[in-house]
Amino acid sequence: MGIPVKKELIAYYISAHGYGHGVRSCDVIRALNRLYPQLEVDVISVLPSDFLHNRIGHTGNNVRPESFDVGMVQKDSIQVDVPATLACIEQLYARREDLIDREISYLKERRVALVVVDIPALPLESAELAGVPHMAIGNFGWDWIYSGFIQQDLRWKQIADSFRNAYTKTDLLLRLPFSEPMRAFPVIEDIPIVASPGISRRREISELLDCDAGKKWILISFTSLDWSDEALDRIERIRDYEFFTVFPLAWQRSNIHAVRREQVPFSDVVASVDAVLSKPGFGILSDCAVNRKPLIFADRSDFAEYFILESSIKKYLKYVHIPMDTLYRGDLKPSIDLIWDRPAALEPLSHGGDAAAAHRIAQTASNAK
């Protein structure tokens, strides 16, 4: 009986901010599992375990619930709370030395071959001190986001500088589309978007949720949205469309249907609808682009990434902008009615970034032996 070969171990750290980082990270990890089964992955994230299992599959990956950044604290999927974000980061970074030391011990005990982040900074510092190769994947750095708040409060400068200093020591950045320059990183390679087209399951969804497949279908894609009863009443009176959400977002209304990820994968939900209503976010923009779905998007002007994503929406998607006050009133029909006659996307967008990232990760881990 042969001696089993020890697998090379990847420690993959996913930002605590929203699902966009998690979606693309899970797609890369799934590609790693499929293409390079000789690699093992430790997933370090506070994202819900059912979300991770739904996106990656029930494989041999280890999941450790731990967070090394806070991203932006959000009031809901559109509005951010800048003062609360600063308070949370200061609380986390008060433990900075202990967190770094603990991760150094983990990296050595587990004999980690490569650290990958999307895109917290503290694990990069631990990897640097432990002598473990380390790389990042993303379309923006938190140093860039946080620098925009320095004029509001000078305490942001120390936070932004801390992230920037860690990024400058990173071995490699795999830069995704819809990105800021990310100048802090010394070595950059561009890769395509990390998204793949879904499969339309319109008939299955129609039977599952008892909705009308003959109407236009609109996916309301938010993690949370603070709609009043009056706004929901206004939406319920829209009879031309069927609306869909993905749990945990759900409302008890006759024309709003909540889909469970374990029943229909998110990419398949996008492939099954006629248009998407959402905020500008990397994940949903990517999903709409690869599935060629129009996007009705709301403002998110207090988040620096918004202006880059807005520009990308206008380039790669058929789109309509819905004002924030109109969205919160639930006055959706006029904006949705406009989307069908809008011009087609100006440019196509290539995908396959999951496989490209997996290849580069496997190559780097192999070279680290």
Note the pLDDT tens digit of each residue in 218-249.
999 988 888 999 999 999 999 999 999 998 89
- Give the pLDDT mean for 323-329: 93
Q: Mean pLDDT, to the nearest integer, of 251-256?
A: 94
Residue 346 has a pLDDT of 82
Q: Would you call 271 exposed, middle or buried from its count of C-beta atoms within 10 A (0-12, 13-18, 19+)?
A: buried
pTM to 2 decimal places: 0.88
Q: Is 202-339 the same fold as 8-194+352-367?
A: yes
Token pair, residue 176, equals 């995704």
Q: Count helices and strands (H / E) in the chain.
A: 15, 13
How far is the C-alpha of 312 from the C-alpha of 178, rounded, in Å?
6
For the cut 90, the answer to whether the pLDDT of residue 93 exceeds it is yes
Helix (H) or strand (E) holding 304: none
264-304 pLDDT per residue, tens: 988 999 999 999 999 888 889 999 999 999 999 998 756 67
Instruction: Give the C-alpha separation, 266 to 221, whole Å.
Output: 10
Give 1's pLDDT tier (boundaries 50, 70, 90). Answer: very low
Residue-level pLDDT at 40 = 94
Q: What is the pLDDT of residue 6?
A: 56
Residue 2 has pLDDT above 60, yes or no: no
Nearest to 36 by CA among 350, 366, 367: 366
- What tokens were used for 74? 């959000």
How sure is the predictor about 3, in pLDDT bands with cuts at 50, 70 and 90?
very low
- Local confidence band at 5 (pLDDT 50, 70, 90 cut-offs): very low
Domain boundaries, the chain: 8-194+352-367, 202-339
336 burial class (0-12, 13-18, 19+ CB within 10 angstroms)? buried
pLDDT for 297 equals 95
Best CA proximity match to 14, nearest among 76, 56, 77:
56
Position 189 pLDDT exceeds 90: yes
Rounded to whole angstroms, how far apart are CA atoms 323 and 330?
11
Q: How far apart are CA 334 and CA 182, in angstroms?
A: 38
SS3 string, 10-25, reads EEEEECCCCCHHHHHH
pLDDT at 301: 58
* Distance separating alpha carbons of residues 295 and 309, to the nearest angstrom: 12
Mean pLDDT, rounded, for 333-341: 97
Count CB neighbours of 346 within 10 A: 10
One-letter amino acid at 210 equals D
Pick the CATH number of 202-339 from 3.40.50.2300, 2.102.10.10, 3.30.428.10, 3.40.50.2000: 3.40.50.2000
List Cβ<8 Å contacts ≥24 apart for 94-101: 96/122, 96/162, 99/68, 99/126, 100/125, 100/126, 100/129
List pLDDT tens digits, range 23-49: 899 999 999 999 999 999 999 999 888
Could you tell me if 339 and 294 are in contact, meaning their C-beta atoms sit under 8 angstroms apart?
yes
Q: What percent of the chain has pLDDT over 70?
A: 95
Task: Give domain 8-194+352-367's CATH architecture.
Answer: 3-Layer(aba) Sandwich (3.40)
